[in-house]
Amino acid sequence: MIKVDNFEQAFHKKVILKNINFEIQEGEIVGLLGPSGSGKTTLIKALIGLRKSTGGEVSVLGERQPSLKQMKQIGYMAQADALYEELTAKANLAYFGRLYGLKGKRLHERIDTCLRFVNLDQEAKKPVHAYSGGMKRRLSLAIALIHRPKLIFLDEPTVGIDPALKRVFWDEFEHLRNEGMTFLISTHVMDEAERCDRILLIRNGTLIDGGTPKELIQQYGSIEQAFLKVGE
């Protein structure tokens, strides 16, 4: 699904990410774990094709990035919500769904399914400006899923979401993974990292280690220790 070869990203000649090499297979939940400023969002943006890399190669779904060809197969939830505040949740979902080519009965089915999943079905007719921060995060996730992408990038998806709903999200991520969806999720949250199939540890713009949660726990003692190690 994803192949990254010797990727490098610089801004104004300052190298932010370097020597990045990894692959992600279909049906994996991969966690990107690293301290603030380590380059997680920059890497995700390159994978989505929002920016041309300054070195190396990034292929997603068989296409070299940046490319718009696979846009309909990719979902993205950014760290900052990008929602139309004056529209209702339902209208936001309809808007983004149509951008991905959904219409008619299928569009309405997807809107209902995604609203139920994020527990917003009772609030679907409220304008987004009347939503709490957590509700906006939930709506952003619903939008990222509206077109049932093959591959989804979630940048710190559960910030502002309570533990019970977080668990529901993760159960659903695993369910979708079992149906073949592939996830790359950036997180700071240890219990989330433990639910990933594999974790990539990023520090100062480079991948310093990776493995299953079990492997990292064996090596570092705990995921938290592994995280602290990347923060040193």
The residue ranges that bind ligand ATP (CB under 6 A) are 11, 16, 34, 36-42, 79
Instruction: Kindly report the backbone phi and psi dihedral angles of residue 140, in degrees, each rounded to the nearest multiple of 5, phi listed first.
Output: -60, -40
Toward ligand ATP, which CB reaches closer, 16 or 87? 16
How far apart are CB 65 and ligand ATP at their closest, in Å?
16
Give me the least distance between CB of 74 and ligand ATP, in Å please. Answer: 18
- Write down the least CB distance from residue 169 to ligand ATP, Å: 19
Cβ closest to ligand ATP, residue 102 vs residue 193: 193
Contact indicator for 25, 170 with CB cutoff of 8 Å:
no
What's the min distance (Å) between Cβ of 17 and ligand ATP? 8
Nearer to ligand ATP, 150 or 188 (CB): 188
Of residues 43 and 120, the one with the C-beta less far from ligand ATP: 43
16 or 190, CB closer to ligand ATP?
Answer: 16
CB of residue 202 to ligand ATP, shortest distance in Å: 7
